[in-house]
Structure 1
Amino acid sequence: MTPDFLVTHSGGFHADELLSSVILTRLFPKALVVRSRAPEWITPAEDRIIYDVGGAYDADARIFDHHQRGAPLREDGQPFSSFGLIWKHYGRDYLAATGLPDAHIETVHGAFDASFVLPIDLMDNGAMSPSIAGPLAVLTLPVLLETLKPVFDEPDPEALERAFHAALAIARSFLEARIAGSAAKLRAEDIVLKAIADAGQSQVLELPMGMPFRSAVMKSGADHLLFVVHPRDKDWCLTGIRRADEGFELRADLPAAWAGLSNGDLEAACGIEGASFCHNGRFIAAAKTREASLAMAELAVSEAVATV
């Protein structure tokens, strides 16, 4: 049954029930969010979903707490928070509601759980401290969301409720942006894999627009590729391909003679009309036309191959 109420605890709020609320309010937009610890609210009933309160985990009864003895654990023994439980049971429906293609739902669900949901679960359970981020710990999402709580001596009794809903809107923005990014990477992967197939053994990969490409390049096993060319707003971009996820070492650098040059100076250095810019780090260059960018790419390939 479609719930009339989404029930979580009153008082101070945390990232786990805020992010759970993001999922549930998207799926059940007509349901009222009720923040309470009153027994009549935190007891399971057909008209509600209860989360982060109630002292029980029973998906059939639609209660998802994790504070009780015998609290639920993941298969690897790591603890759930309410967010992890809600994502486990409702995350796939949420992704479908965003319009994500069915073929991508399991991939995004699993990746988002590992990279976004699990850290929230661990922090909420005290199994991972925000201090692992060092001096930047104040910039972790749980800490940022909790800074939106009213100060301890705020006299307005409604301030906490207003703060919760303000924090909910911000949490929604972060979660939706992260999901959108994951979905976009999968769309990009499909485009890049097709472009790689079309390119054959060329060492230059041409894409129809700027997009994430490295994961698809690695997935395809296209170790022969050295550079990527694609249109930008008003020009064309030529970039190198990193060897690994960590660090900035490229499979091939752009020619040293181009480093830091632009416009006429760069045209003179490479002999290509329309060459407009090369970063001093030799990982990205630009040209005014597609033809110029491809010519620069071929010249860069020739120099890279000659120095091997």
Structure 2
Amino acid sequence: MEVTHLITHSGGFHADELLSSVILMRLFPQAEIVRSRAAEWITPGPGRIIYDVGRAFDPEARVFDHHQRPAPLRPDGQPFSSFGLIWRQFGRDYLRALAIPEADIDPIHAGFDAGFVLPIDLMDNGAVDPSVAGPLAGLTLPVLLESLKPVWDDLTPDAEDRAFAAALPVARSFVEAAIARAAGQRRAETIVEAAIARAGTDRILELPGPMPYGSAIGRAGAEHLLFVIHPRNGDWALNGIRKEKGSFAQRADLPEAWAGLTDEALEAASGVSGAKFCHNARFIAVADSREAILRMAQIAVSQATN
């Protein structure tokens, strides 16, 4: 469809219409952003997409507001902001515009919606309990983006529009980084799944390089795995595997005698020539060769299982 104007409200801005603009500008780079509350602009018409203003949610008319009653709700009853509505309508096309493989479109769309879009929706609608947000509420993405608004006594006529334009590339960087990270996660999962199949019943998983592996190991049900080894910038790393996402507890720690040691001291404590470093918290160690790191991993497995 030909889109000539992306229309949102004037005045102070919030994260939802700012992030919506990021999505729409990628898909319709020729379109002009108009920030207005004037009826002649926020009325549906040819070439227009209207969002966060208009008092209607009508995808066929290309109006995506959430301030009216009844407000649009997700199937589970949680509220949409304009960002959620725009993402639902245009998110898959946005991912295609970023060259995300077609097989990954639906899972990345759903994951980004749950992990990035929904929190924006909830905060915009005041649906997040302050006790949940906690003392770091001032560091959430919506608050940080809105901190780019002009100061209260900047009364120049175009202050809000200039601030909105300056905030757009900042918002874009967060969205594109999150999508790139999700796409990278999908690529890593394919590699890790193949490595798990090769490892069989071995306790040590060998990967071709540093990459996220926890979710793929958990999804594969590979509870027997205790450690991961991989090459890293000219040396080799030995990593633990977290028991669950968000926890620092490992399925098995590296030997206590290695904690905090480096070079000759670690070689002496481990009996492995080429051992270079072990973190004091015993979740990572480094050696100068595959042979050395594999030997360290074998020793760690032996101590953890005896």
For this structure pair, what is the TM-score category when the shorter chain's length is used for normalisation? over 0.9
Q: What does 1:143-292 align with in structure 2 at a 5 Å threshold?
A: 143-292=143-292
In the alignment, the residues of structure 2 paired with residue 8 and residue 131 of structure 1 have an alpha-carbon distance, to the nearest angstrom, of 31
After superposition, give the CA deviation of every residue in 1:124-150 in whole Å (9 maximum; x if it has no partner). Answer: 112225563222111011111111111
In the alignment, the residues of structure 2 paired with residue 248 and residue 76 of structure 1 have an alpha-carbon distance, to the nearest angstrom, of 32
In the alignment, the residues of structure 1 paired with residue 74 and residue 247 of structure 2 have an alpha-carbon distance, to the nearest angstrom, of 32
Aligned length: 306
Tell me if the contact between 1:81 and 1:124 (Cα under 8 Å) persists in the aligned partners: yes
Gaps of 5+ in 2: none
**Match in the other structure for 1:59:** 59
**Match in the other structure for 2:40:** 40
**Match in the other structure for 1:78:** 78
Q: For residues 98 and 130 of structure 1, do their structure 2 counterparts lie closer, same or farther at Cα, with a shift above 3 Å needed?
A: farther
Give secondary structure in 2 for the equivalent of 1:170: helix
Gaps of 5+ in 1: none
In the alignment, the residues of structure 2 paired with residue 170 and residue 225 of structure 1 have an alpha-carbon distance, to the nearest angstrom, of 40
**Match in the other structure for 1:88:** 88
Give secondary structure in 1 for the equivalent of 2:60: coil
**Match in the other structure for 1:6:** 6
In the alignment, the residues of structure 2 paired with residue 248 and residue 200 of structure 1 have an alpha-carbon distance, to the nearest angstrom, of 26
After superposition, give the CA deviation of every residue in 1:227-265 in whole Å (9 maximum; x if it has no partner). Answer: 000111121100111111242221111111111111001
After superposition, give the CA deviation of every residue in 1:2-32 in whole Å (9 maximum; x if it has no partner). Answer: 2011000000000000000010001111111
TM-score by length of 1: 0.97
- Which amino acid in 2 is paired with 1:88? R
In the alignment, the residues of structure 1 paired with residue 3 and residue 86 of structure 2 have an alpha-carbon distance, to the nearest angstrom, of 14
Deviation at 1:273, TM superposition (A): 0.9
Give secondary structure in 1 for the equivalent of 2:268: helix
Tell me if the contact between 1:108 and 1:183 (Cα under 8 Å) persists in the aligned partners: yes
In the alignment, the residues of structure 1 paired with residue 203 and residue 237 of structure 2 have an alpha-carbon distance, to the nearest angstrom, of 16
- Which amino acid in 2 is paired with 1:252? A
After superposition, give the CA deviation of every residue in 1:27-63 in whole Å (9 maximum; x if it has no partner). Answer: 1111111101111111111211000011111101101
- Which amino acid in 1 is paired with 2:158? E
> Structure 1 stretches (4+) deviating beyond 6 angstroms?
none
